[in-house]
Amino acid sequence: MQTMDCRNFKEVLDSYLSDELAVETNHQIIRHTEHCADCRSEMAARRNLRGILRGAVTTITASPDFKNRLRAKLREEAAKDFQSNEVAQATRESFVSRWWAKFTMPQFALATAALLILLGGGLYLLAPPALAAELSQSLWQQAAGDHDHCAANWLKSVQEIDAPVTGADEYDPELKYLSKYSEHKALGLTFHSAHVCPMDGRRFVHFVYTRGNDLISLLITERDTQALKNGVIPNDDGVKAGLQQQIGLMDKYSVNAYQTSKHVVLLVSTLNDQQNAEIAEKLAKPISQHLRKIESK
Amino acid sequence: MSLKTEQQLTDFEELALGYADQLFRVALRLLRNRERAEDLVQETFLQAWRSFHRFETGTNLRAWLYKIMFNLHYTDLRRNKLELVQADEMIAETIAFDPPTPQFVTEEEVIAALERVPKDFQIPVMLADIEELSYLEIAEVLNIPKGTVMSRLHRGRKILRMELADYARSYGLRVAEN
């Protein structure tokens, strides 16, 4: 085993104090201090410095007044949640069953498979994306936020990712059939979860996929109802309004989005822009066709 | 699953609010202004509450809260078009020399020295040596690779020691002149 000299010792000493070294390196450190008084005193000094630093900084605390305000604010926010729970309970059945009953019908799966064969023939080459100005910055943020908080945390917490998790069973037990959609396999996607996520007051239907080490979220949400109410019915751009935009919140994600007249579909992933766009495009046609069917009713 | 219960609120208050002081300290270091630090901490807790149903019990709540806080902070920075200083290259040349750590330092000296460590290095040092997050947790919280955390810690700690050594030396000089 390599012996440790004073220079190496000082290089790794702080990691030793943070308990971040491998066992063998810990042993080397200890052996070195046994015969080197200088390094022994350096270790004591650094340990002492940390203690003083911690002591000095931890005297800083938030004021009791702030903590009270924080608690009050939190309760205020929670009260709103509890109130909207009642509304959600009441509307859940109608909202979700209408939405998903269509999405999970076997005929739809077949139609999708048939479409995919057509897509494979290269019929679906896209015009360069045009900007869909209607998508707000906050929606991008929320989509990336949902991907980051939900999908990324979800994946971390699940050891075995072979079995699809259908956390949305309580919304619709049929959701698990989504995992059988053939286009996912064609794109090399492994389906993991389908559920409904709230994010900053917005409701996303959230599909989680992986491809290799990449994590992919497909998010569907309703378009801004305020705009619709004001009579601003946006064009049904479909995927032609697909656009790529880096999000300030998390530079590491690629995001593509497109919209139908009442819904926005976003694809967020750790893939590069080109791969992300490719998946968004390939999934776009069956999804937007399906959404249009719902919307026309 | 997304519906919040009274029990969740009680859990959240019990588990998360205890970290208010720690988050506040780091926020204060980031923003150097009590009021803005309080705003950031409050927004962090509200955001955490909204996502609380997705928090996995048994994982590190404190690191999760820090991650939310740093995400919010960096979003604000970009919104305000303030550029983060890329300090790595700038500092690299100046720290070849590693002085011995002074044996006797006061809290004031240490705080003053910490203030002089550039923020990119100061924050990892704070998270590791004061808040005692692991290197991996810091990487997740700051959204940077673990290797970058290690090199920033290495430099940050070195700069801190240099600042203290400078202080001790000048103090020694003053004593000698007298």
Inter-residue contact A146 to A219 (CB < 8 Å): yes
CB–CB contact B74 A249 (8 Å): yes
Sorting pLDDT into bands at 50, 70 and 90, what band is A294? low
Poorest-pLDDT segment among A54-68, A224-238, A253-267, B92-106: A224-238
Q: How far is A16 from chain B (nearest CA, A)?
A: 12
Q: What is the pLDDT of residue A154?
A: 58
Q: Using N-to-C axis directions, what is the helix angle for A37-57 and A23-35, rounded to 10°?
A: 120
CB–CB contact A49 B164 (8 Å): yes
Q: What is the pLDDT of residue A281?
A: 77
Identify the segments of chain B with pLDDT beneath 70.
Answer: 1-3, 79-97, 169-178
CB–CB contact B101 A170 (8 Å): no
Q: What is the pLDDT of residue A231?
A: 44
**Among the partner residues A55, A61, A74, nearest to B46 by beta-carbon distance:** A74
Higher-scoring residue by pLDDT: A201, B15: B15
Interface test with A, best of B1, B32, B77, B98 (most A CBs within 10 A): B1
Nearest residue on chain B to A196, judged by CA atoms? B2
Asked if pLDDT for residue A197 goes beyond 80, the answer is no
Q: What is the pLDDT of residue A24?
A: 92
A54/B contact by beta carbon, under 8 A:
yes
The SS3 of residue A82 is: helix
CB–CB contact B38 A200 (8 Å): no
Give residue for tokens 């998270």.
Answer: B127
Nearest residue on chain A to B9, judged by CA atoms? A78
Residue B46 — φ and ψ, nearest 5°?
Answer: -65, -45
A78/B contact by beta carbon, under 8 A:
yes
The SS3 of residue A59 is: coil
In this prediction, what percent of chain A has a pLDDT beyond 90?
A: 22
A167/B contact by beta carbon, under 8 A:
yes
What is the value of pTM for the model shown? 0.54
Contacts of B107 in chain A (CB under 8 A): 52, 55-56
| CA distance linking residue B150 with residue B148, whole number of Å | 5
A46/B contact by beta carbon, under 8 A:
yes
A208/B contact by beta carbon, under 8 A:
no
| ipTM of the complex in this document | 0.84
Sorting pLDDT into bands at 50, 70 and 90, what band is A182? low
Q: What is the pLDDT of residue A40?
A: 94
Q: Which residues are CB-neighbours of A33 under 8 A, at least 6 positions away?
A: A39, A40, A43
CB–CB contact A14 B154 (8 Å): yes
Q: How far is B81 from chain A (nearest CA, A)?
A: 10
Interface test with A, best of B75, B84, B115, B153 (most A CBs within 10 A): B75
**Among the partner residues A57, A71, A199, nearest to B130 by beta-carbon distance:** A57
| CA distance linking residue B121 with residue A29, whole number of Å | 25
Model confidence pLDDT, tens digit, residues A75-131: 988 888 777 665 555 444 444 444 444 444 454 555 555 555 444 443 333 333 333
| CA distance linking residue A262 with residue A228, whole number of Å | 8
Q: What is the pLDDT of residue A110?
A: 52
The SS3 of residue A259 is: strand
Model confidence pLDDT, tens digit, residues A14-51: 999 999 999 999 999 999 999 999 999 999 999 999 99
Q: What is the pLDDT of residue A115?
A: 52
Q: What is the pLDDT of residue A274?
A: 77
What secondary structure does DSSP assign to B115-139, as a single string? HTS-HHHHHHHIIIIIS---HHHHH
Q: What is the pLDDT of residue A143?
A: 75
Higher-scoring residue by pLDDT: A22, A288: A22
A25, two tokens: 């390196």
Q: What is the pLDDT of residue A208?
A: 79
Q: What is the pLDDT of residue A15?
A: 95
| CA distance linking residue A74 with residue A200, whole number of Å | 14
**Among the partner residues B12, B107, B157, nearest to A56 by beta-carbon distance:** B107
Q: How far is A260 from chain B (nearest CA, A)?
A: 26
**Among the partner residues B20, B78, B98, nearest to A10 by beta-carbon distance:** B98
Q: What is the pLDDT of residue B173?
A: 53
Model confidence pLDDT, tens digit, residues A107-117: 455 555 555 54
Contacts of A249 in chain B (CB under 8 A): 71, 74-75, 78
**Among the partner residues B20, B55, B110, nearest to A53 by beta-carbon distance:** B110
A158-185 mean pLDDT: 44
Q: What is the pLDDT of residue A237?
A: 43
CB–CB contact A45 B103 (8 Å): yes
Contacts of A157 in chain B (CB under 8 A): 56, 59
Poorest-pLDDT segment among A79-93, A118-132, A237-251, A270-284: A118-132
